[in-house]
Amino acid sequence: MHWNTKIINPQDLINIARGDHKIIYKYLIQFQELIPQRIHSLKAHLKAEDRKQVRQLLHQMSPQIQFFGINDLVNPIRRLELEYETMPIEELCTLVETVIIKLNLALKDVHLAINENF
C-alpha cells in the first residue's frame, strides 16, 4: 500500500489489519464519516461556548485520533480535556480551532490514502 500522509501515522492501522486491506479500508471510511460530523458538532458547541460539550466531544474523539497517530493533537486535546472549565474562553476557542485545522488536514490524508489505494 502507498501512504503519502503528512498528518496521520498509519502504523496502528497497519498493525490491526495484519495484511487485510479490507480492514484498513473500513477504518479509513469510518474516519472519513465520523470526523466531519464531529467537527460540525465541535463548531456548534464552540459557537455556543458550551465548554462541557466541547470536552465531551474531544474526549470521545481522542481514541480515534490516537489510533490514527495524529500526535500533534494529543497534547492540545489532553489540555482541553483537563482545563476546559478554567481555561479563558479565547484560549479555548483558539485551541479548538487548531484542533479543527489539524483534523481537516488529517481528513485530506485519509481521502488521499483511499484514492491511492482503493
Partner 1 sequence: MSFHKIRCLIIDDDPFIRELLQDKLDQYFPDINVLSSVSSGKKGIEEITKHKPELIFLDVEMADMTGFEMLSQLSKINFQTIFITSYSHYAIKAIRFNALDYLLKPIDLGELKGAVKRFKTYTNKGTQHVNLSLALKNIANKNVGDHLLNLKTQDGNLRLVLNDIVHIEGDRNYSYIYLKNGTKKLVTKTLMQLEELLDSKGFYRCHKSHIVNAKHITSYLNGNLIKLSESLNIPVSRRKKKHFFDWYTAYQNASQ
**Which residues make up the interface to partner 1 (CB under 8 A)?**
12, 16, 18, 23, 26-27, 30-31, 34, 59-60, 62-64, 66-67, 78, 81-82
Q: Which is nearer to partner 1, 31 or 46 (CB)?
A: 31
Using CA of residue 44, residue 47, residue 52, residue 56, what is the dihedral sign? Answer: positive
Residue 1 CB, nearest distance to partner 1 (Å)?
A: 18
Residue 59 CB, nearest distance to partner 1 (Å)?
A: 6
Quote the distance between the C-alpha of residue 47 and its chain's center: 19
**Three-class DSSP category at 16:** helix
Ramachandran area for residue 65 (φ above 0: left; ψ -120 to 50: alpha; else beta): alpha
Residue 4 CB, nearest distance to partner 1 (Å)?
A: 23
